């Protein structure tokens, strides 16, 4: 009998671990207590302190009460009090299974508000999309191959550039698609998908296109660089071009902080670039200003907001050192600065450290030093381009102000 009690007690304690994992904390605690008091060593200790515990009747009643409480407090034992509860649970289940449901609901509303003529046009575009060989590959046959990353990248680019009832695709992104095998059909697929995505004209993307993106994200991630890469299953994949699908997933769930921050990270790594200011339908994926405004609504304390001691232009910083180096050191040296200026030169010093020189005057400049991880981003800069750099001021060296540990902000 003693061995049987050990086994039963241990089973209740082990069962409690599963209850804790299911977040049934109260049930788990009751199960632990029940299992513990059944164990002979624990039961004997209780007998020493409480005479009542020597009575089998007291012990068995206690076991029965605790066992009943386990059943009552378990979520699995609960029954919905009304049909409303069932419906609410069902809705939550559907939402958790489909993270894009909010977008699809919005698409349904958009379609309902279209004129009969626009609805007919949407149906026509959707029908043409379905007849495209690329649709058959991606949707019906569910092909997931790096060959089609440029197609999804182009759709993402087009959606990012939606403005009113029009969209645009960057020429280099378009070239990546048209120069590939079956480029004409691929580009036609891209154009039809982007046209459907325009909310005011055609409502939005159909569910099957969202599922294509989801399959590719699962295999390749939301962004990546060209070359031999490894998918999430650790299989080698040859990626011909850099790709950035993060704006697409931010559009699907714009209130998700991780989705938004992924957009910034991809842009910061040079996988795509921000648009100039403009009237975009989805400004939070199109321009940096729109992105920051959206992120501020969701997470005002986000790590992506510049953590600096002060903001200054390159000219103001240099003039301060030119006027009084001692005073300028007190004001700026060792401080983290957000510096705005125009690019005069991009290069490497004698130690092979990359730097950007911000224009002041002849033989005068603000030299901002980066680590090698920033080479890709720096390679995309042009002379005369206005940028913002975050770095730590190291003071004046000969004729230049030096800023170290830099990162490109804009």
Helix (H) or strand (E) holding 310: strand 310-313
150 and 235 co-located in one domain: yes
Same structural domain, 127 and 10: no
Q: Is the same domain home to 271 and 358?
A: no
Report if residue 287 sits inside a domain: yes
| Domain boundary residue, one of 298, 323, 350 | 298
d(CA 364, CA 396): 11
pLDDT band at residue 344 under the 50/70/90 scheme: very high
Are 124 and 187 part of one and the same domain? Answer: yes
104 pLDDT band (50/70/90 cuts)?
very high
Q: Are residues 264 and 321 in the same domain?
A: no
DSSP state of 59: H
Residue 398 covered by a domain: yes
Residues 210, 285 share a domain = yes
User: Cα–Cα distance between 286 and 298 in angstroms, integer?
Assistant: 17
- Is the confidence at residue 90, as pLDDT, over 80? no
pLDDT of amino acid 101: 92
Helix, coil or strand: residue 179: coil
Asked if residue 149 belongs to a domain, the reply is yes
For residue 78, the tally of other CB atoms under 10 A from its CB is: 10
**What's the pLDDT score for residue 99?**
81
Q: Answer yes or no: do 163 and 285 share one domain.
A: yes
In a domain, 304, yes or no: no
Beta-sheet pairing, 236-239 with 243-244: unpaired
Packing angle of the helix pair 207-220, 149-160 (nearest 10 deg) = 120
- Domain for residue 96, yes or no? no
Q: Percentage of residues in the chain with pLDDT exceeding 90? A: 60
Taking residues 318-333, what's their average pLDDT? 95
Burial class (CB in 10 A: 0-12, 13-18, 19+), 228: exposed
State the chain's mean pLDDT as an integer.
Answer: 88
Q: How many structural domains does the chain have?
A: 3
Q: Is residue 133 part of a domain?
A: yes
Residue 207 and residue 268 share a domain: yes
Nearest Cα to 32, choosing from 4, 13, 55, 60?
13
Query: What is the DSSP code (8-state) at residue 184?
Result: H
Same domain, 163 and 280: yes
Q: Which residue has the higher pLDDT, 232 or 378?
A: 378
Domain boundary among 235, 267, 298: 298
Q: Are residues 129 and 64 in the same domain?
A: no
Percent of the chain with pLDDT over 70: 93
Residue 331 lies in a domain: yes
Same domain, 73 and 172: no
Q: How far is it, in rounded angstroms, from Cα 27 to Cα 75? A: 9
Cross-strand pairs, 359: 365
- No. of H helices and E strands in the chain? 20, 10
Answer yes or no: is 210 within a domain.
yes
Indicate which CATH number applies to the domain containing 360. 2.40.50.140
Do 56 and 107 belong to one domain? no
Q: What is the pLDDT of residue 93?
A: 44
Q: Pick the closest to residue 45 from 57, 33, 37 (CA basis).
A: 37
The DSSP 8-state label assigned to residue 163 in this structure reads B
**Domain final residue, candidates 250, 276, 298:** 298
Per-residue pLDDT of 138-147, as tens digits, reads 999 999 999 9
- What is the distance between the alpha carbons of residues 282 and 198, in angstroms, rounded to a whole number? 10
List the single range of 51-60, 74-83, 312-321 with lowest mean pLDDT. 74-83
* 406 or 8, higher pLDDT: 406
Structural domain harbouring 14: 2-77
């Amino acid at each position: 009998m003693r061995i049987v009690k050990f086994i039963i007690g241990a089973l209740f304690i082990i069962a409690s671990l599963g209850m804790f994992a299911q977040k049934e904390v109260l049930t788990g605690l009751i199960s632990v207590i029940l299992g513990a008091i059944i164990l002979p060593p624990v039961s004997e200790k209780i007998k020493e302190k409480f005479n009542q515990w020597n009575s089998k009747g007291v012990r068995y009643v206690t076991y029965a009460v605790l066992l009943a409480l386990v059943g009552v407090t378990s979520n699995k034992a609960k029954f919905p009090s009304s049909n409303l509860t069932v419906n609410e649970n069902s809705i939550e289940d559907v939402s958790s299974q489909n993270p894009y449901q909010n977008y699809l609901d919005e698409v349904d509303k958009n379609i309902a508000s279209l004129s009969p003529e626009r609805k007919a046009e949407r149906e026509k575009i959707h029908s043409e999309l379905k007849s495209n060989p690329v649709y058959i590959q991606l949707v019906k046959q569910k092909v997931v191959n790096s060959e089609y990353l440029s197609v999804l990248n182009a759709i993402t680019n087009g959606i990012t550039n939606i403005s009113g009832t029009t969209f645009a695709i960057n020429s280099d992104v378009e070239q990546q698609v048209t120069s590939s095998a079956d480029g004409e059909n691929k580009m036609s697929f891209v154009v039809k998908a982007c046209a459907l995505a325009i909310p005011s004209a055609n409502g939005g993307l159909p569910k099957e296109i969202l599922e294509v993106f989801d399959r590719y994200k699962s295999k390749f991630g939301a962004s990546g660089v060209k070359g031999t890469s490894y998918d999430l299953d650790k299989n080698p994949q040859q990626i011909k071009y850099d790709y950035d699908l993060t704006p697409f997933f931010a559009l699907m769930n714009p209130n998700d902080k991780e989705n938004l921050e992924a957009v910034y990270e991809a842009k910061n790594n040079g996988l795509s670039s921000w648009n100039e200011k403009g009237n975009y339908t989805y400004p939070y994926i199109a321009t940096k200003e729109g992105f920051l405004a959206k992120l501020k609504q969701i997470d005002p304390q986000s790590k992506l907001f510049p953590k600096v001691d002060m903001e200054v232009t390159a000219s103001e910083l240099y003039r301060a050192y030119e006027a009084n180096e001692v005073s300028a050191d007190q004001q700026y040296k060792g401080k983290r600065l957000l510096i705005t200026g125009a690019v005069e030169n991009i290069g490497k010093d004698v130690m092979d450290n990359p730097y950007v020189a911000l224009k002041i005057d002849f033989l005068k400049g603000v030299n901002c030093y980066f680590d090698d991880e920033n080479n890709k981003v720096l390679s995309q800069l042009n002379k005369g381009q206005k940028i913002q750099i975050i770095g730590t001021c190291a003071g004046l060296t000969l004729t230049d102000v030096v800023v170290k540990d830099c990162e490109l902000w804009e």
